Chains A and B, each alone.
Chain A
Amino acid sequence: MAKEQMMTGCRAAAEGAKAAEVEVICSYPIRPYTAIMMELAKMVANGELNAEFIHGEGEHAQVSVVLGASASGARAFTGSSGVGVTYAMEVYSPMAGGRYPAQMSIADRTLDPPGDFGSEHTDAMSTRDQGWLLGWACSPQEVYDNTLISYRVGEDHRVMLPQMVCQDGYFISHIPDKVILGERSQVKEFLPPYRPIGPLSITHPVSHGPQIRPDQGAPMDAMRAQTFLAVPKVIEEATADFNRIFGRKYDPFVEQYKLKDADIAFFIMGAHSNTCRTSVDRLRKKGVKAGMARLRWVRPWPTHQLAEALGHVKAVGVVETSTSYGGAMRGGNLIHELRASLYDLDKRPLVTSFMAGLGGETIWPADFDYMAKVLTEMVKEKRTKNYVYWIGM
């Protein structure tokens, strides 16, 4: 029986990569994700993991290296944080367009400014239109689990897409929590070996990523969009298998916490959902019917699952830990897609957003109390007074 260990999210990501027996790793240091590579470097040096460990000269090179590795048939792993994620921006589309299912482990960090070490989701959220699978964990355990689940989904021949496995910097990446690592036999049962399609080969030469004619563009883009329609089913299958084999209880797309009879709900992802969950309990004790929906995947976006989970709630507060300056709702990103997801319902909740945890600030229990107060007032007045509230100012 596997035993519980205390470890950080970074260590958990490294353990996940080790369990997946990654064959090529490319590193470049930037906090807070650096610790993932520190751990992997030790594992390779100690002979626990048989992988090629390559030092990139920057994040652009990192993603390029894993692109090449993946194209030649290796299971490849890299990662980054903050401005490192955005420095590699050019390579994200070639990676997804070339259908290379390598993985990038992200520990979120603010962009510059403020460039502090704290967590903001804007770094990885900026890549959401590049065709990658993109999801967030809320504990070191889930980081480990998502590393395995994402490889399985990404490498499925119905999918063949790169994945970003995200965790909040510091809150998840640097605070130890209880983790149960999988047994070798469990991982073997869950994650088959990577089977590349038409890999680069000396004996069977093929061409990857050639220039195409303009009239081939639209069909190719349509195919990529079509692929994403097939992903949810693969995620559902993989999550069900994972739950069965490892004894977990993940909802594939949305963790629903005390939502069934909720009047007001928080819509959130990542680390702060843990404070949110205890806040829901506290609010319930005070007679406020609160609930929480926690998003596990941003790409593919679970439109229908969210409509189903939140349709009956009277008011939803989106807790945004990323920025979308000048956007339709004047604050963050998630609210745009949540509102769109609820639009076709006959009766839909009021939806506002709370900019919270920016700069890596802690979101306090009292902040959730304040948000609940705003949402309760919205329900009473039957209208959304503001698109956005800034928390902790």
Chain B
Amino acid sequence: MKKYLIIFSLLLLAGCSKVEDLQNDPNRATQVSPDLLLTTIETTAFNNVSLNAALASRQLTFTDGTNQYQYYNWQRAGFGQYDDLKQVYKMIQESQRTDSQVYQILAKFFNAYYAIELTRVFGDVPYTEAVGAEIGIYTPSYDRQELIYASALDSLRAAGLELAQNTETIRGDVIYEGNKKQWQKLINSYSLRVLMSLSNKVDQTDIDIVGRFNEILNNFDQFPIFESNSDNASLVYVDIQDNRYPLFNDNSLQTAYYMEQTFVERLQNYEDPRLFMMADKKPNASNLNVEDFSAYGGLYGSAPLSDNGSKAVSGEASRIKPRYYNNPVNEPSILMSYAELQFTLAEAAARGWISEPSEPYYKSGIAASLAFYGISEAEDYLNNPTIQLNSNEDLESILTQKHIALFLNTGWQSFYDQRRTGFPEFNVDGGGILNNGLIPKRFMYPQNESINNPENLNEAINRQFPSGDNINASMWLID
């Protein structure tokens, strides 16, 4: 009997497993090559199609309820882009581990890009102490916006110059397929955008805005910039799961979004053929020709929901062109286009920052935008009297054309350009605005910062906004 017992007992114990053998995760890698992170960063940073931006920028309207972006009663935005900055940080770590430089250079661009994206939303934000959790900084302090801009511009300059010297191969690049020249063009063109976004600060800051602008523009060999649409910094969608145009199959887009009236009327007045590429005919004009400008209409962004709703119900408003929700690849998402650069240069000319006249840049920007929409025949439009510059200083026309060219692309750029320049005018007189008739100037800080980082947040609010964290307060950039 005893021996059976021993056998039983041994059998029981034989199958026992050791703790030490099971302490590696078979499902995830603890080290990766930096290119795997570059792909993530690119597909996030360049993927910026935003219906909210189109509502806030009076390009589209929404009828399923009062939308806070359209009626300007939005409150807060999030700090989600710090997670993107962390991916950049990990890319730097992994490229240091693997002794490669090129990803660290690209990281400079992305660091600058995300920092600018964040600061223009809120004002002061964490920057020098940001993404420091791995070294124990859980409550980063907020940096002044001016410092962030200055530092970002330095990073961009360094990135462009270092990239020119670098001989390594970029892998995992789904934007330029490793073409470093094009990356340089993006970095420098983007620097021009950042400099232009400081237009209200000329001579009020240590940043030599105009000087730096000219430095780039006058040294093409050292600082190449976009030369055509083929240089556009854009993410091209593919008809594969998770790679499709983000609004593909969007239910609301096909049933509750309509074109904005002032936007449609502007294109109608200009006889702008891009209207036919952006908008669908309004239902009660469905029998008219596609190229009949009177077949289109829109809803007034600031009108009360009930007015817009009944107008939509009676078939007087155009939906967006079905390709935006029917076509899985539709059009690329743009971080920055050649057209935008041309309008930036035209604006620089209009502001007298550069010596060239504004018109060639202006026309070239329009032509590039038409080409983006597949309209190769631009002559008629370019010669249309309604779109001619009134003078070399005609900022309104330049920014209005830029606003058209940036329809439902380039993220929130149109909104921030309008905040900076006041052009084109965004209507607030329709009686429906829920922010005392004002266009907000910023977003409130995320509420969890008041819990997770209250002291630094408080300090940042107090030094910038005497009336508290508020969507109508004015930040340094546009003071």
A and B associate in one complex: no
